[in-house]
A and B are shown apart, each in its own frame.
Chain A
Amino acid sequence: MPNFIDRRLNPKDRSLGNRQRFLKRVHDELKRTIRDQVKSDKIADVDAAHGVPIPRRGADEPSFRHSGASGERHHVLPGNQTFSPGDRIRKPETGAGGGGNGRGPGRGEATDDFLFILSREEVLDLFFEDLELPDLVKLNLRETVTYKPHRAGLTTSGTPTNINVGRTMRNSFGRRMALRRPSERECRVLADEIAALEGEERLSLSQRNRLTQLRQELEVLERRRRRIAYVDPVDVRFNRFERQPLPNASAVMFCLMDVSASMGEREKDLAKRFFVLLHLFLKRRYERIDIVFIRHTDEAHEVDEETFFFSKQSGGTIVSTALEEMQRIIMDRYPSNLWNIYAAQASDGDNANGDSERCASLLRDELMKLCQYYAYVEIIDERESEIFGTTDNGTSLWRAYRTVDGAVPNFQMTRISRPADIYPVFRKLFARHQPRSVRG
């Protein structure tokens, strides 16, 4: 007789530890792959589960193996139909003597790249590793603190929805044992015996005595059962919840985008890609951040996410309108003593005559006093990127902003000319531990 064991209920995921080790092992490679994918025009896909080919590098297990491309081999194969000794068969041309052409048995094993499905969270974690918003200092300043209920032990009073059944029944069980409440079974045994006696045709004297005695006993038991409740109010326990204030790093990000006619399809695409990345990053890392989208032509509007990314309105260019709109919204809704304020602006640098200076002074004198951090991204032509080799040269807006860059420490400006620039620029702007003096 064999020993049968049912293992189906054993804990699963026995190899979870191994899987994690493996993930850790290929972590760097995965990160690189994802970045490459994003650079090569797949930025919107960041926000999805990814099939990431596991690179062989870092995950291969070397050993002394025979190489397929040398020496003399002998194969014995089944299914000869037409060959006679001495026949010659041309080798397939594919690959330099490569295995897996059906001839080298056991060779060409599945050591190739294989797809590894990462969840959206895993992708984003890898993608945004080491990035953060600089100077997130004004923590817990806002008065409207949010609370979140946390489990905090048990209590004897509460609403019925919060009854802790397990604990209640445990108390009840203990009490019933201690007070010797007769069990259902004891009563049933007596009742059965009584029923048996009652069923008899004629009872002897001893049986009759026994019957009355049993009835009395049953009576006693049942009285006792009535007196000692099955579940007593003293047994009942409720889950207790404590409202804990959540640390509230109130932060707002202003996204300013130029959608004027001078921004061609390419420029808009690049700008949008930049903001998509920023948006994802904020959503991923700072769950409760406010994001304000402002787009401007010759006038600026606050818009919702959908419009910001997908609408196709166009027109002239006055950049300062966007800054004024941002200033208005800050005054309105985000008092700077309570909020960490960030802004990112994308533009092609074209602006109405004389407006660039106005923008610079607006920034320097007003906005930068309110903002924690301001990033300006200019979308330029690839040819321009060669012409504007130095950072001093550039469009009117660029030159005007150069004066701000010099004057204010928490202002950053940079240029993007190709999709491949976006990610490096993004990392540059939001790299962790950038030494930056905190605004006083």
Chain B
Amino acid sequence: MAKRPASSLLFEGSEWNFATLSRAYDAIEAIAIGEMGLDVYPNQIEVISSEQMLDAYSSVGMPLMYQHWSFGKRFVFESHLYRKGYRGLAYELVINSNPCITYLMEENTMPMQALVTAHAAFGHNHFFKNNYLFRQWTDASAILGYMDFAKKYVAKCEERHGPAAVEEILDAAHALMDQGVFHYRRPPRLSSEKVTERARERLEYEEQTYSDLWRTLPTAGGNAGIEAAEQEALERKQALNLPEENLLYFLEKHSLILEPWQREILRIVRVIAQYFYPQGQTKVMNEGCATFVHYFIINRLFDQGRMSEGAMLELLASHANVVFQPDFDDPRFSGLNPYALGFAMMQDIERICTRPTSEDRDWFPTIAGNGDWRGTLLDAWENHRDESFILQYLSPTLMRRFRLFHLTDRADERFCEVASIHDERGYSAVRAALARNYDPGVNRPDIQVVDVDLLGDRQLRLRHSVKHGILLNESDRDATLAHVRRLWGYNVSLSGVDAQTGASLYECSATEA
């Protein structure tokens, strides 16, 4: 390749090839690692066509996935929208794995490929590798291997037990996917041979030291009667580790009718749900981080004279589209744009660190004017999820810029009330309300297994603790309960209990048809 000493451009025009891709990658890497101090998994960049992108969409973005009709439905749906021109395809798709796989669309122009490389292969990649949620909840190096196993295992089950039987289990498991996650305690690691070994040893020890005599000791309290029943229930619950928030886990371990392969399938669905759990809680931060990184990098490339003005204009236009936030009364409005919010907050942090106002000094005494925006951002990316990030870093300046206001909406009233707006009295309230909207504990129904009498009627009792009076969609609820019943094998009941008052709000059950 002829060297043009006059031009230091990484690429010219919009056509790309693997040489320009890799030259751009090297330049981007130098800035990302060298200047921003990002820490990423090794990258694997794959170029795919639009059809393959649709394929990837429909299997929830995983390169390997077992077969299920719901993915077909999604595919038909997505391709319909795409073909009709209602929706474009993503420029990229990135997978939280080690090595980190990034898919680039072949239709992208070269400047877009550079942008997308910076966005996904460095922005998202850094976030995946460093954010505490991803570190705790997912195992990036094991996921691809696990998906490979899952795909083969499900295929094998279909071969052995027939697609209909497998589909039935998968349908039921998918229905409970949201309840298949350990929200509160850390999930067990994927490959935890040592741990299971230790658990087995402990069990053995208990068996060896078991003495029936202990049972005959009189209980401390004098009067038996009601207390004995309560005591029994308590012991029973303790034995099953109740209450249990992870329904799939509970069914996998304790269901009375499932065969081993069915339990394994539940486990597969549960592991996948667990793997995606952090993504739902870090949408704003994840996209904000990636957008901030690509914006910084393309500007640096332009400053270094390695990108032409034409390319820069194209990228700025694209960037502006991504971070566009229509107002609430705009027909295009569909909620707060996580790209816009995340990017704006991170830029705001940079501003607070370097050019704070006196207001910022009041609100953010620890970071205002510390000059180290890189370190501050790296720390935020590592240690927060959307909820805490907003609660910690959303500044009055930004609330004024977005003109945020807080609206309360009671279903039984015909009016919404403006509770607070972006003014001195409202900043804290608006910020807290926004943060709460990103709290997964608020947004997904809290349903737990509370009791089951294995020696009695074997009815599985679930409790939905109702917050703010928000009930479940009834037809969905009944259909899902039927799925739970299918997995449990005996009757299942669900009671809605108000989280604050403890009053019972509703009661429903799934019995044998």
Q: Which residues of A contact B (CB under 8 A)?
A: 1-8, 10, 12-15, 17-25, 54, 59-81, 83-91, 97, 102-103, 105-106, 110, 114-117
Contacts and interface: CB of A to CB of B under 8 A. Distances in A.
Contacts of B411: 68-73, 97
B178 interface: yes
A73 B408 contact: yes
A89 B415 CA distance: 5
Give the bracket for the number of chain B residues in contact with chain A: 35 or more
B421 A84 contact: yes
Interface stretch (B71-79, B304-312, B351-359, B372-380): B71-79
Nearest to B429: A85
Given A19-B72, A78-B336, A71 B67 contact: no
Interface string B402-429: 1111111111011111111110011000
Contacts, number: 264
Interface in B413-468: 413-422, 425-426, 430, 433-434, 436-437, 443-445, 447, 464, 466-468
Interface string B313-337: 0000000000001111110011110
A67 B72 contact: no
B510 to A, nearest CB: 12
B487 interface: no
Interface stretch (B45-53, B184-192, B238-246): B45-53
Given A5-B45, A62-B483, A74 B99 contact: no
A86 B418 contact: yes
B473 A66 contact: yes
A89 B406 CA distance: 12
A115 B73 contact: no
Given A62-B479, A105-B335, A20 B72 contact: yes
A87 B407 CA distance: 10
B118 interface: no
B109 interface: no
B interface secondary structure, majority: mixed
B48 A8 contact: yes
Interface in B469-489: 469-477, 479-480, 483
Contacts of B402: 78-79
12 contacts: A7-B52, A19-B75, A62-B477, A67-B470, A68-B411, A72-B408, A76-B406, A78-B327, A79-B327, A79-B403, A89-B415, A115-B80
A71 B468 contact: yes
A63 B99 CA distance: 33
Given A64-B477, A73-B470, A77-B404, A7 B48 contact: yes
Interface of B: 18, 21-22, 25-26, 42-49, 51-52, 54-55, 58-59, 67-73, 75-77, 80, 99, 103, 106, 121, 163, 167, 171, 174-179, 325-330, 333-336, 402-411, 413-422, 425-426, 430, 433-434, 436-437, 443-445, 447, 464, 466-477, 479-480, 483
Nearest to B117: A2
Contacts of A116: 76, 80
B483 A83 contact: no
A232 B59 CA distance: 53
Contacts of B336: 76-78, 105
Contacts of B46: 4-7
Contacts of A63: 174-178, 476, 480
B405 A83 contact: yes
Given A21-B163, A61-B70, 12 more contacts: A2-B42, A12-B51, A14-B55, A17-B67, A22-B76, A67-B474, A70-B411, A74-B408, A75-B409, A86-B417, A88-B418, A103-B407
Q: Which of B72, B75, B413, B444 has the most CB of A within 10 A?
A: B72
